[in-house]
Amino acid sequence: VQKGIYYCATSREVVRDMIVKVVLNKRSEELVLEDGTTIEGMLKKLGLYPDAHIVLRGRTPLPLTDSPKDGEELRIIKVASGG
């Protein structure tokens, strides 16, 4: 997995990538995300519904508006509900 720094012609800003390790269903993978990506954006990139998953940093649930930090490990838990 490679991260980089590049220039975005649309926004005319320098954009940096970050690598986040994600653990889901006892499998882990490294994701390259654009700096500033939210937890919601990360879940969507993984093809997961944000309202059906909880993302944890350690044992702390993260709001969908938070951003992951470069190099950290996050755990994703599927939420089950029913009657």
* CB distance 38 to 66 below 8 Å: yes
- Residue pLDDT, tens place only, 2-17: 555 554 455 555 557 8
Q: Which residues of 14-48 are buried (b: 16+ CB within 10 A; e: fewer)?
A: eeebbebebebeeeeeebebeeebbbbbbbeeeeb
How far, in Å, CA of 43 to CA of 35, rounded?
15
- State the pLDDT at residue 78: 94
pLDDT at 5: 55
Q: Give the residues of the chain that fall short of pLDDT 50.
A: 1, 7-8
Per-residue pLDDT at 1: 45
Supply the pTM of this predicted model: 0.79
Asked whether 55 and 23 are in contact (CB, 8 A), the reply is: no
- How many residues does the structure list for the chain? 83
Q: What is the pLDDT of residue 23?
A: 96
